[in-house]
Amino acid sequence: MIQGWLCILLHTKLQVIENKRKKVDMAPTTQAHFRLRNTTMDKLRLALDASAHRSMAALADDILDQALDKMLAEKPAFDAAGALRGIKRDG
């Protein structure tokens, strides 16, 4: 059992060293702060439990990216203010 953990530890350390050597970078990101409704947060928590994402931020990023791609494909000159008109908000 100790040998198994040692192998995992060594493999992990070697991966970190290899990634630093190759200068593997994460996707470029920008920090953002959003105020979300409680119902939206509840839905994100439920979706996170069922997803392979390790963080709610990564899940929300993927959801936003896919939804925005779809919206822009349907209406290239996307008018955000127009899209929000008529939507009843809960707070």
In a domain, 60, yes or no: yes
Residue 45's pLDDT is what? Answer: 92
Asked, for residue 44, whether it belongs to a domain, the answer is: yes
Residue 3 lies in a domain: no
Which tens digits make up the pLDDT trace of 1-60?
Answer: 555 665 565 666 666 666 666 555 567 778 888 898 999 999 999 999 998 888 888 899
Q: What value does the mean pLDDT of the chain take?
A: 76
Whether 10 maps to a domain, the answer reads no
The yes-or-no verdict on residue 68 having pLDDT over 80 is: yes
Closest by CA to 40, choosing from 22, 23, 64, is 64
Residue 30 forms part of a structural domain: no
| Number of domains, the chain | 1
Domain that holds residue 68: 35-84
5 occurs within a structural domain: no
- What residues have CB less than 8 Å from 91, skipping those under 6 apart? 37
pLDDT attached to residue 82: 72
Asked if residue 4 is part of any domain, the answer here is no
User: Which one, of 16, 21, 41, lies nearest residue 91 by Cα?
Assistant: 41
Report pLDDT for 85. Answer: 74
Mean pLDDT of 63-84: 79
Is pTM, for the whole model, over 0.85?
Answer: no
